[in-house]
Chain A
Amino acid sequence: MELTQDQLIKLYTLMVRTRKCDELIVNALKSGKAIGFFHSGQGSEAVPIGACTFNLRDDDYLYPHHRGHGIGYMLARGLSPKPFVASHMGRVAQDVEGPTARERGIHGGSGTIGASFVLSAGMGITAKKNGKNQITACFFGDGSANRGTLHEAMNLASVWKLPIVWVCENNLYAQYMPLKDSMAREDIADLASGYNMPGVIVDGQDVLAVHEAVKAAVDRARAGEGPSLVECKTYRYRGHSEGGPDISHYEPRPAKELEEWKKRDPIKLFRENLLQQGVLTDADVERIDKEIEAEAETLEKYADECPIPKPEDPSVLDRLLYAE
Chain B
Amino acid sequence: MKQTIYLMAIREALDEELQRDDKVFILGEDVQQGTFGTTTGLVDKFGPERIMDTPLAETAVAGAAIGAAQAGFRPVADMMFGDFMYIAGDEIMLKAAKWRFLHGGKVNVPVVIMAAVGGGMKLGAEHSMIPEAMIMHTPGLKLAVPSTPYDAKGLLKTAIRDDNPVVFFYHKGLLGLPGEIPEDEYLIPFGQADVKREGSDVTVVATSAMVQQSLAVAEQIKDKVSVEIVDPRTLEPFDLDTIIESVKKTGRVVIVDEDTKRCGITAEIGMQIMENGFDYLDAPIQRVAAANMPIAAGFMEEHVLPQPKNIAGAIEAVMA
CB atoms of B293 and A321 under 8 A apart: yes
Binds A, one of B122-130, B137-145, B172-180, B225-233: B122-130
CB atoms of A111 and B125 under 8 A apart: yes
CB atoms of A317 and B56 under 8 A apart: no
CB atoms of B57 and A317 under 8 A apart: no
Within 8 A of A (CB), among B167-189: none
Number of A-B contacts (CB under 8 A): 97
With A111-B125, A112-B126 already in contact, the answer to whether A250 and B303 are too (CB < 8 A) is no
Binds B, one of A139-147, A264-272, A278-286: A139-147
CB atoms of A110 and B126 under 8 A apart: yes
> Shortest Cβ distance from A2 into chain B, in angstroms?
39
Write out the residue numbers on chain A whose beta carbons fall within 8 Å of the beta carbon of B124: 36, 111
Write out the residue numbers on chain B whose beta carbons fall within 8 Å of the beta carbon of A317: 293, 296, 300, 303-304
The interface size bin for chain B is 35 or more
Provide the A100-128 mask, 1 if CB < 8 A to any CB of B, else 0: 00000000001111100000000000000
Q: Is B32 an interface residue (CB 8 A)?
A: yes
Dominant secondary structure at the A interface:
loop
CB atoms of B55 and A143 under 8 A apart: yes
Dominant secondary structure at the B interface:
loop
With A111-B127, A317-B296 already in contact, the answer to whether A177 and B56 are too (CB < 8 A) is yes
Q: Is A312 an interface residue (CB 8 A)?
A: yes
CB atoms of B293 and A175 under 8 A apart: no
Which of B33, B35, B124, B304 gathers the greatest number of chain A CB atoms within 10 Å? B33
CB atoms of A183 and B122 under 8 A apart: no
Q: Is A245 an interface residue (CB 8 A)?
A: yes
Write out the residue numbers on chain A whose beta carbons fall within 8 Å of the beta carbon of B83: 111-112
Which of B32, B83, B125, B302 gathers the greatest number of chain A CB atoms within 10 Å? B32
Q: Is B53 an interface residue (CB 8 A)?
A: yes
Provide the B33-44 mask, 1 if CB < 8 A to any CB of A, else 0: 101000010010
Q: Is A182 an interface residue (CB 8 A)?
A: yes
Provide the A309-322 mask, 1 if CB < 8 A to any CB of B, else 0: 11110101100110
Q: Is B46 an interface residue (CB 8 A)?
A: no
CB atoms of A90 and B56 under 8 A apart: no
CB atoms of A113 and B122 under 8 A apart: no
CB atoms of A176 and B300 under 8 A apart: no
CB atoms of A146 and B298 under 8 A apart: no
CB atoms of B33 and A90 under 8 A apart: no
Write out the residue numbers on chain A whose beta carbons fall within 8 Å of the beta carbon of B122: 35-36, 90
CB atoms of A250 and B33 under 8 A apart: yes
With A36-B122, A113-B56 already in contact, the answer to whether A321 and B294 are too (CB < 8 A) is yes
Write out the residue numbers on chain B whose beta carbons fall within 8 Å of the beta carbon of A176: 30, 32-33, 53
Within the assembled complex, what's the spacing in Å between the Cα atoms of A147 and B59?
8
Write out the residue numbers on chain A whose beta carbons fall within 8 Å of the beta carbon of B32: 176, 249-250
CB atoms of A36 and B57 under 8 A apart: no
Q: Tell which of B60, B121, B300 touches A309, judged by Cβ atoms closer than 8 Å.
A: B300
Within the assembled complex, what's the spacing in Å between the Cα atoms of A181 and B30?
12
Within 8 A of A (CB), among B51-67: 53-60
Which of B54, B57, B301 gathers the greatest number of chain A CB atoms within 10 Å? B57
Write out the residue numbers on chain A whose beta carbons fall within 8 Å of the beta carbon of B125: 111
Write out the residue numbers on chain A whose beta carbons fall within 8 Å of the beta carbon of B55: 143, 146, 174, 177, 182-183
Q: Is A216 an interface residue (CB 8 A)?
A: no
Within the assembled complex, what's the spacing in Å between the Cα atoms of A245 and B126?
22
Q: Is A247 an interface residue (CB 8 A)?
A: yes
Give the interface of A toward B (CB within 8 A).
35-37, 87, 90, 110-114, 143-144, 146-148, 174-177, 181-183, 245, 247, 249-250, 308-312, 314, 316-317, 320-321
11 A-B pairs with CB atoms under 8 Å apart are A35-B299, A37-B123, A90-B122, A112-B86, A114-B56, A147-B57, A148-B60, A174-B29, A176-B30, A182-B55, A250-B43
Known pairs A176-B32, A312-B303. 5 more at Cβ < 8 A?
A90-B299, A111-B126, A174-B56, A182-B54, A249-B48
